[in-house]
Amino acid sequence: MRVLVTGSTGFIGRTVCRSLRDAGLQLRVALRDEARAATVLDIERAIVGDLSAQTDWSSALTGIDAVVHLAGIAHMLGTPAAEALEPCTRVNVDATLTLARAAVKAGVHRFVMMSSAKVHGETNAAHPWREADAPDPKDPYARSKWQAELGLRLIEKGSGLQVVVLRPPLVYGPEVKANFLRLLATVARGWPMPLGAIRNRRSLVYVGNLADAVLACLRHPSAAGRTYLVSDGDDVSTPELLRRVGTALGRPVRLIPVPVAVLRAAATLLGRGSDFDRLTGNFAVDSSAIRAELGWQPPYSMQQALSATAAWYRGLTPSAKKENGGDARR
């Protein structure tokens, strides 16, 4: 199978490329420019320029059997919704649908798109999200992913293209950035945290498990036309996650049981109410469908995944830790 991968130089893309290549698939990666070619010297590549409705995918798709579409605008935290809307629409929606139409024209058989569990919303109270639950995207990023999913299903109808959509929750692993990297830095400091009273349920997925799920979606006949939530299957509360990260880092985690209402009031006064809700709310997904239909099981446990992530973090230079997630030195 010859596979075109977009977003190959990103956090998820690098692991996906390694996983697919180790499985014996022939890869070609689509890159914005030659400057990114140094990271994929040993993989066939095609330069496609910036992603938009005008991107020309014809040469990149020649001789390709399947597409794994990982490229896109990620969460734009701190950016006003009005400013985030245009780039999210241009890249996550317009470029995705242009690629899918070009894939149909090129005779591509399968198209695996990386969406997000955020299409379901920001928190869930009654039960973990299932694929059949009504989408309720709250921000431009999540809305753009949902719009792309809808557009892909329309393109799929009446064509030979088999679309598979994956909706992961928070993805972590070596080379992770943003919130999870800051969590690693916070735990590594060893400072007390007032989070001991939080009782929530959150799903995560290790990047190695997600890459293995992509492989299953490429290969399994039953994946055609399906949408799957995917996770490690080991949901944890925020305090439990902190304790597990502490164990992996070999650092004690001191959690003070401050009432959640007090924490929420303080966060609101500081203008961080939405950040607090993301930290303390439920964000759980039910990944039983991909397990039942494709026979998929995550190859790595959360303990193994956190150990690998911690080993990578310990190997970072102090300056890299400070730049990306805060200075972890005591």
Q: Half-sphere exposure of residue 201, counting CA atoms within 13 Å on the CB side? A: 13
In a domain, 296, yes or no: no
Mean pLDDT, rounded, for 222-236: 97
In a domain, 167, yes or no: yes
Is 64 within 8 Å of 2 (Cβ atoms)? Answer: yes
Instruction: List CB contacts of 283: < 8 A, sequence separation 6 or more.
Output: 117, 122, 123, 124, 169, 170, 201, 202, 203
Place of tokens 């209402």: 261
DSSP notation for 2-54: EEEEESTTSHHHHHHHHHHHHTT-EEEEEESSGGGGGGGTTSEEEE--S-STT
**Claim to verify: residue 107 and residue 185 sit in the same structural domain:** no
Q: Which of 141, 172, 228, 313 is catalytic?
A: 141
Helices (H), the chain: 11-22, 58-61, 81-88, 96-106, 140-156, 178-189, 207-219, 238-249, 260-269, 273-280, 288-294, 302-315, 318-325
- CA 212, distance to chain mean position in Å, is 13
Residue 125 and residue 52 share a domain:
yes
**Average pLDDT of span 56-85:** 86
For residue 275, give its domain range.
Answer: 178-202+234-283+301-325
Claim to verify: residue 32 and residue 159 sit in the same structural domain:
yes
* Tens of pLDDT, residues 100-124: 999 999 999 999 999 999 999 998 8
Does pTM top 0.75 for this prediction?
yes
Residue 127, pLDDT > 80, answer: yes
Same domain, 82 and 141: yes
Residue 242 C-beta-side C-alpha neighbours within 13 Å: 28
Flag whether 87 is in a domain: yes
Could you tell me if residue 145 is inside a domain? yes
* One domain for residues 271 and 219: no
Q: What is the pLDDT of residues 291-308, one digit of tens each?
A: 999 999 999 999 999 999
Residues 20 and 147 both lie in one domain: yes
Judge contact between 198 and 101, C-beta under 8 A. Answer: no
172 tagged catalytic: no
Read off the tokens for 231.
């996770």
pLDDT in tens, 72-102: 988 655 666 677 788 899 999 999 999 999 9
CATH number at residue 115: 3.40.50.720
- Band (pLDDT 50/70/90 cuts) for residue 58 is very high
93 with 133, same domain: the answer is: yes
Residue 274 banded pLDDT, cuts 50, 70, 90: confident
User: What pLDDT sits at residue 320?
Assistant: 65
Statement to judge: residues 110 and 163 lie in one domain:
yes
Q: Where are the alpha helices (DSSP H) in 158-251?
A: 178-189, 207-219, 238-249
Q: Could you give the percent of the chain with pLDDT greater than 70? A: 92
Number of domains in the chain: 2
CB neighbourhood size of 297 (10 A): 12
User: Rounded CA gap, 211 and 7, in Å?
Assistant: 13
Q: Are residues 12 and 68 in the same domain?
A: yes
- Same domain membership, residue 111 and residue 191: no
> Helix or strand or coil: residue 158?
coil
Mean pLDDT of 218-225: 97
Please indicate, yes or no, if residue 293 is contained in any of the structural domains: no
- Pair (194, 134) in one structural domain: no
- Whether residue 289 is contained in a domain is answered as no
Confirm whether 258 is domain-assigned.
yes
pLDDT score, position 6: 97
pLDDT band at 37 (very low <50, low <70, confident <90, very high): low
Domain presence at residue 294: no
| Pairwise CA distance, residues 132 & 129, whole Å | 8
The DSSP letter of residue 65 is S
- pLDDT for the residue 328: 35
What pLDDT is stored for residue 330 in this prediction? 27
pLDDT at 329 over 50: no
Does 262 share its domain with 148?
Answer: no
Confidence of residue 326 (pLDDT cuts 50, 70, 90): very low
Q: pLDDT (tens digit, 9 = 90+) per residue, 181-217?
A: 999 999 999 999 999 999 999 999 999 999 999 999 9
Give the dihedral of Cα atoms 96, 100, 105, 110; nearest 10 deg.
Answer: 140
